[in-house]
Amino acid sequence: MNAVTLENVCKSFGQVHAVDNLSVQVPAGSVYGFLGPNGAGKTTTIRMIMNIIRPDSGRIEIFQDGQIERVKNRIGYMPEERGLYRKMTVRKVLAYFGAIKGLDTKELAHRVPHWLQRVDLAGWADKRVEELSRGMHQKLQFAVTVINNPELVILDEPFSGLDPLNQDLLKNIILEMRNEDKTIIFSTHVMHEAEKLCDFILLINKGKSILDDTLDHIRSRQSAHTVSVELVGDTGFVETLPMVTAVKSEGNRLDVSLTDADTQQFLQALVQRAKVRAFEVKVPSLHEIFVNLVGASDAQNS
């Protein structure tokens, strides 16, 4: 079952195609990362999912329902632009947003303290929002997002403005929610976060999807067949091996590019000729994939 389905969604602002014929399916229970450079159309896509702006064409369904207003209670959304009532107290803000998301007084009495505890704001419950620091404000915003225990959580740049400690706090909560089979969509342009959390990646550039797959697939498909080795003794023979296409030397280390051949064969060949001190199959980081693909798609367009 899909939690979110986008079919051929388009949105233009004047001459700019913010989102261009985008189709995505977010399976229930997955963590889906929307990646892309600034201005790629991530926020626009998320806003359309939330029915805050309407697509020019195409279809959007959440929980197989085209009427998003009907399922809003089951969604938690944290926009990129954070904002809360500055004059209200932390507790009241949380209770208010819980109430308009359909929680009754009894549930609120239980959940508000629970979430304040969870994001380390229990001591600030009766302070006004304007007294909070930026990081605390951000955590409160997150608590507001999930107060209604949503099945689908959509986070737009959730980690921006948080220190490493709070980033970990947030990551742990997200992982916990994944274990509870919740669907999480978040957008970011910080790749290592996505790498640690995501099951699926959607890479958008200039409103178009340039990559949409599971993180595992992406990694194996994008594998550049590069191995980094450290040998004792003469290394000149490496270049002459049949499966080697290029060798780049960095001090003791050699970065070796291979043909399609199995890395195991290469290791065997090395072991026969020299003493191997280190051997590492290089998995390209999401960062590299991102830079490569976005660069390629920009080059194609220009």
Partner 1 sequence: MHRILKVAQREYIETAKTKTFIIGLLMTPVIIGVIIFFTKAISGGKAGPRPDIVVGVTDLSKTLAEDIKTSFDDYNKRNPNRQFLLQRLDIQQDANSTEAKGKTKLRNGQLNAYVVLDEDILEGPGKIRFYTYKPKPANVDAFWTIENFFRKAVENRRYEIEKIDKKLLARLRNVPLERLEVGAAEGREQVQSQGQRIAGMMVPFFFMYLIFMGMVGTGQHMLSSIIEEKNSRIIEVLLSAVSPFQLMAGKILGLAGIGLTVMTLWSAAAYAAASWQGLNVGVTPQLMVYFVIYYILGYLLFSAILTGIGSVCNTIKETQSLMMPVMLIFIIPMIGWFKLVQSPDGTLARALSFVPPVTPMVMVLRLAAGSNVLFVEIGASILVLAAAVLLVTWAAAKIFRTGILMYGKRPGPLEILRWLRQS
Least distance from partner 1 to the Cβ atom of residue 89, Å: 11
Least distance from partner 1 to the Cβ atom of residue 21, Å: 21
Least distance from partner 1 to the Cβ atom of residue 100, Å: 4
Least distance from partner 1 to the Cβ atom of residue 156, Å: 9
Choose between 34 and 266: whose C-beta lies nearer to partner 1. Answer: 34
Contacting positions for partner 1 (CB under 8 A): 47, 50, 52-53, 69, 72, 75-79, 81-88, 96-97, 99-102, 141, 144
Choose between 88 and 293: whose C-beta lies nearer to partner 1. Answer: 88
Choose between 101 and 258: whose C-beta lies nearer to partner 1. Answer: 101
Choose between 83 and 242: whose C-beta lies nearer to partner 1. Answer: 83
d(CA 247, CA 251): 12
d(CA 40, CA 209): 10
Least distance from partner 1 to the Cβ atom of residue 219, Å: 33
Choose between 82 and 225: whose C-beta lies nearer to partner 1. Answer: 82
Choose between 86 and 221: whose C-beta lies nearer to partner 1. Answer: 86
Least distance from partner 1 to the Cβ atom of residue 162, Å: 18
Least distance from partner 1 to the Cβ atom of residue 39, Å: 16
| Longest alpha-carbon distance in the chain | 75
Choose between 50 and 281: whose C-beta lies nearer to partner 1. Answer: 50
